[in-house]
């Protein structure tokens, strides 16, 4: 069962409850029950907004949204909090008007009591379901909607008390409505605070502590660490210290190992960007900000055929494009002035099982561009910081890719 499916169930359930509460609230002249019906009506909108937010958040990364669409979920949760605050304010207003206005008799109706009891049971079950799957999928908007359902269950409990006490104290109904409205406003504040923290990129100290423990276990010294939350996930930017004389391939291995350990042991982390202080100080490797370029390393050995123009490399396995960036063979293509001058498959001399060294190969063959089905974020950023473009494409036939390159050439 997915969070989106739960949101659809919530919309249908709240629709039925809202109609029943409003009908009997007006029938027995209960401001608390009518207010609770309005609250359930608001639940319909909040559940639908939650559904839209969760759906949009699942959209893949694109050119305009390099970090994905996870913010949509936080925005949906924030809108739910606003709806919750509006419904709480309206309930308070109606309760105050009942105190200030002409006293009205609340009629005790058996069906109204039954409807409220059913509402309490259903909305509490729905709230628990949302809390469970919201926590399981780290869906902030679903958790916010769960708080809304919990508030609805408690408000219905207050309505039940008001209906049962109305025969003995007519203003009990209005007093219950006051407590309900105040509680809903309190919940709206609590939810909006958590979601606002997500929208404002507030750091996650618990995640940072877990990152520090993992680095400490691998004897890696952290120079700086920043975390921020996007939707349901956390992002981390880490700068680590290594000896200045450490070889580039050794540094890359440390980065890849640390990235793997962090992502495997901290499920909340969606992305980790790791840079190295030693190379940053000597201006020879990855810098922590996207878009920076620092050129090729001095003294790097050169392999492969003589470079005749813009050089494109593609990982190859069994004469087809390989799904991973690191491979034991690469197709090298040189193009210049719209013509392909070199098209040759060569071995990766640095390839080892478990350590493909694709980044080192790309740099030593002086590649300008890489075409690959998938690549790790750190490897991608490291290559781009060296001025090497990375184009991630779906798994296509190598002949289709070559045809596209040649067609592109002929169009210039």
397 and 316 Cβ atoms separated by less than 8 Å: no
| pLDDT confidence band for 191 (50 / 70 / 90) | confident
Q: How many domains does the chain have?
A: 3
Q: Does 44 share its domain with 156?
A: yes
Other CB atoms within a 10 A radius of the CB of residue 403 amount to: 12
Answer yes or no: is pLDDT of 280 > 60.
no
pLDDT at 301 > cutoff 70: no
Residue spans of beta strands (DSSP E) within 85-241: 221-230, 233-241
**Do residues 368 and 386 both lie within one domain?**
yes
Are 26 and 120 within one domain?
A: yes
Q: Does the pLDDT value for residue 298 go beyond 60?
A: no
Q: Residues 174, 224: one domain?
A: no
To the question of pTM greater than 0.75 for the whole model, the response is no
Residues 66, 88, single domain; the answer is: yes
Q: Which domain holds residue 269?
A: 205-282
Tell me how crowded residue 68 is: count the other CB atoms within 10 A of its CB.
18
The answer to whether residues 95 and 237 belong to one domain is no
- What is the pLDDT, as a whole number, of residue 409? 53
Is residue 305 assigned to a domain? no
**What are 376-397's pLDDT values in tens digits?**
887 888 788 777 899 988 777 8
Q: What is residue 318's three-state secondary structure?
A: coil
From CA 32, how far away is CA 176, in angstroms rounded? Answer: 7
For 39, other C-beta atoms within 10 Å of its C-beta total 29
Burial class (CB in 10 A: 0-12, 13-18, 19+), 198: buried
pLDDT 10s digits, 209-253: 999 999 988 888 898 898 887 666 788 889 888 776 677 777 888
Give the pLDDT score at 412. Answer: 45
Q: For residues 272 and 214, what is the distance between their CA atoms, to the nearest angstrom?
A: 13
Under 8 Å between Cβ of 30 and 128: no
Same domain, 349 and 217: no
Among candidate residues 263, 282, 301, the one where a domain is terminated: 282
> Domain end: 266, 282, 298, which one?
282
**Is residue 239 assigned to a domain?**
yes
For residue range 316-348, what is the model confidence (pLDDT) as tens digits? 988 888 888 888 899 999 998 888 899 999 998
CATH of residue 29's domain is: 1.20.1510.10
Supply the DSSP symbol for 219: T
Residue 391 lies in a domain: yes
**pLDDT of 110-163, one tens digit each?**
777 888 899 889 989 988 998 888 878 767 677 777 877 887 787 778 778 777
The CATH number linked to 391 is 3.30.420.130
Alpha-carbon span 141 to 134, nearest angstrom: 8
Q: Are residues 21 and 106 in the same domain?
A: yes
Q: Same domain, yes or no, for 90 and 69?
A: yes
| Phi and psi, residue 229, nearest 5° | -110, 130
Q: Are residues 92 and 241 in the same domain?
A: no
Domain assignment present for residue 144? The answer is yes
Contact 273, 288 (CB under 8 A): yes
Beta-bridge partner residues of 342: 334
259 shares a domain with 115 = no
Number of alpha carbons in the 13 Å side-chain half-sphere of residue 396: 15
Exposed/middle/buried for residue 48 (C-beta within 10 Å: 0-12, 13-18, 19+): middle
pLDDT of residue 297: 37
């Amino acid at each position: 069962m997915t969070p989106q499916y739960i949101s659809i169930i919530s919309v249908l359930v709240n629709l039925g409850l809202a109609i029943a509460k409003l009908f009997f609230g007006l029938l027995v002249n209960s401001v608390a029950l009518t207010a609770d019906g309005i609250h359930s009506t608001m639940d319909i909108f909040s559940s639908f907004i939650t559904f839209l937010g969760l759906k949009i958040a699942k959209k893949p990364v694109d050119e305009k949204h390099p970090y994905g669409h996870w913010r949509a979920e936080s925005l949906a949760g924030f809108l739910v909090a606003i709806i919750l605050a509006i419904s709480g304010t309206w309930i308070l207003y109606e309760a105050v008007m009942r105190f200030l206005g002409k006293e009205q008799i609340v009629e005790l109706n058996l069906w109204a009591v039954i409807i409220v009891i059913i509402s309490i049971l259903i909305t509490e079950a729905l709230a628990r379901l949302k809390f469970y799957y919201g926590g399981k999928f780290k869906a902030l908007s679903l958790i916010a909607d769960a708080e809304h359902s919990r508030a609805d269950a408690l408000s219905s409990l207050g309505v039940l008390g008001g209906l049962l006490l109305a025969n003995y104290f007519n203003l009990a109904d209005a007093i219950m409505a006051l407590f309900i409205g105040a509680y809903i406003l309190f919940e709206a504040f609590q939810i909006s605070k958590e979601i606002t923290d997500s929208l404002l990129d507030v750091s996650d100290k618990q995640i940072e502590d877990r990152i520090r423990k993992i680095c400490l276990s691998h004897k890696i010294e952290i120079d700086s660490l920043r975390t921020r939350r996007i939707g349901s996930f956390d992002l981390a930017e880490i700068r680590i210290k290594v000896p200045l004389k450490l070889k580039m391939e050794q540094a890359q291995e440390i980065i890849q190992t640390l990235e793997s350990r962090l992502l495997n042991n901290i499920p909340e982390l969606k992305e980790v960007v790791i840079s190295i202080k030693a190379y940053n100080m000597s201006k020879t490797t990855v810098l922590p900000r996207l878009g920076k370029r620092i050129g090729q390393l001095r003294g790097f050995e050169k392999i492969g055929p003589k470079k005749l123009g813009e050089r494109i490399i593609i990982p190859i396995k069994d004469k087809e494009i390989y799904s991973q960036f690191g491979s034991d063979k690469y197709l090298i293509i040189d193009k210049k002035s719209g013509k392909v001058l070199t098209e040759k498959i060569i071995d990766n001399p640095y390839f080892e099982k478990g350590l493909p060294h694709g980044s080192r190969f790309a740099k030593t063959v002086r590649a300008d561009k890489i075409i690959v089905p998938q690549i790790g974020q750190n490897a991608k950023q490291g290559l781009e910081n060296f001025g090497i473009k990375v184009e991630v494409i779906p798994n296509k036939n190598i002949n289709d890719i070559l045809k596209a390159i040649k067609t592109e050439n002929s169009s210039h």
